[in-house]
Chains A and B, each alone.
Chain A
Amino acid sequence: MSIQNLNTFDPFADASKGADDDVQDGLVHIRIQQRNGRKTLTTVQGLSSDYDLKKIVRACKKEFACNGTVIEHPEYGEVLQLQGDQRENICQWLTKSGLAKPDQLKVHGF
């Protein structure tokens, strides 16, 4: 028979579990920039550094049929850069793959 009061209770169980649950914290900014002509560039800033951005970009390139790269920025960390207007695509892909929640995505630009 177990006495409830004597059970060991970890007060931080919730907190540590919450952190494990979603690695992504903070907003993911998805921006678009115009290049020459009707070409555009999509940048994804703020993805958690726990993710392997190189693997993400590899998957994205294949999925959206575009080129892309990871850029190291002193202030913003690693930033994903994809060719063309991939804002819709990247939003859907990030939510579908569970890397970020829809309310964590912030789409900028027109």
Chain B
Amino acid sequence: MTEEDAIFDASLKKKKKKKKAYDIDAALAESDNLESGLQVDIDMEKKDDDDDGNVDIDLDFTKKKKKKKKPFNMEELEEAALDDNFDLELDFSKTKKKKKKKKDLDELMAEVDEKQDDKENVDDNAVQWLGSDRDYTYDELLNRVFEIMRDKNPDMVAGKKQKFVMRPPQVVRIGTKKTSFANFTEICKTLHRQPKHLLDFLLAELGTSGSVDGNSQLIIKGRFQQKQIENVLRRYIKEYVTCHTCRSPDTILQKDTRLFFLQCETCGSRCSVASIKSGFQAVTSKRAAIRAKTA
């Protein structure tokens, strides 16, 4: 762990400079918020995505400061623009980022506390005991393990997770009573799931009926907003797409003796997932109409 902290230390000076630069940016963004607020936000987002590794942490740090302003901004925009395609993309990434931020905060706090003694320790820690006869301490061994881990797979430095990026669902109202989910099949393809399975889940969760039409878009009965569909999709991904053990989205859903099994391609784990049940459905349409239909 101390080694890790040391890496953060190295970038500490850079961080401070960076922060200033970004604050200016933020201030600028604020000044012309009303006209081009949306664009600025997206730009910030893009910068985040482009950068990797150490710099990423810096950006997160600055973003934390800005966070208060941002949600407010978003809300305004959402109310203003009804076609919130852009907002949605931001939303997706924003929720993901929150977790990371918290972690960073903790790490930074810890870092500040231990900064002084760490610097002395780390330099000679790794190979200190190689020549000598003495027993190695737990900390040294721990360092060694982390070092080896970092050497072997450079992708997962500091427990960074691979992001699972997805296009947002395009949800359009058709008339007053129906909703169209335009890129339904596309999303099925990106998730590697049968459209029927996702369809079953969506309809069971939303408690309505619907079908896929000729243009391969899903028509759902009832009024639904993009945000709501997104929520349900997120739940679907959590339950039926990401591996329950390693959270990798690289999985296959198989049906085996009436049960669905989720097979992970990354870690090889295999576990059963809950079957889709619509459960109790209350009568919402006119009872007289139902009676007329059945009779």
Report A's interface with B, CB cutoff 8 A.
29, 31-36, 38, 41, 43, 45, 71, 73, 76, 79, 81, 108-110
Contacts and interface: CB of A to CB of B under 8 A. Distances in A.
B223 interface: yes
Contact of B280 (A38, A73, A109, A110): A73
B282 to A, nearest CB: 5
B229 A43 contact: no
A108 to B, nearest CB: 5
A33 B207 CA distance: 6
Given A108-B205, A109-B205, A31 B284 contact: no
Contacts of A29: 279-280
A32 B229 CA distance: 14
B203 to A, nearest CB: 11
B284 A110 contact: no
B208 A34 contact: yes
B206 interface: yes
Interface string B43-71: 00000000000000000000000000000
Contacts of B279: 29, 31, 43, 45, 76, 108
Given A31-B279, A35-B284, A43-B280, 12 more contacts: A29-B280, A31-B207, A31-B280, A33-B208, A33-B284, A34-B206, A34-B284, A41-B282, A43-B279, A79-B280, A108-B204, A110-B206
Nearest to B202: A110
Nearest to A32: B207
A103 to B, nearest CB: 15
Contacts of B284: 33-36, 41
Interface in B195-233: 204-208, 222-225, 227-229, 231-232
Contacts of A36: 284
A29 B278 CA distance: 10
Contacts of A71: 280, 282
Contacts of A34: 206-208, 222-223, 284
Interface of B: 204-208, 222-225, 227-229, 231-232, 279-282, 284
A76 B228 contact: no
B126 to A, nearest CB: 44
A36 B205 CA distance: 18
Given A31-B207, A34-B208, A110 B229 contact: yes
A76 B229 contact: no
Contacts of A110: 205-206, 224-225, 227-229, 231-232
Given A34-B222, A34-B223, A109 B282 contact: no
Contacts of A43: 279-280, 282
Contacts of A76: 279-280
Contacts of B222: 34
A71 B229 CA distance: 29
A81 B225 CA distance: 24
A92 B174 CA distance: 35
Contacts of B204: 108
A75 to B, nearest CB: 8
Nearest to A75: B280
A49 B68 CA distance: 47
Nearest to A44: B280
A42 B281 CA distance: 10
A45 B224 CA distance: 23
A108 B229 CA distance: 12
Contacts of B227: 110
Nearest to B205: A108
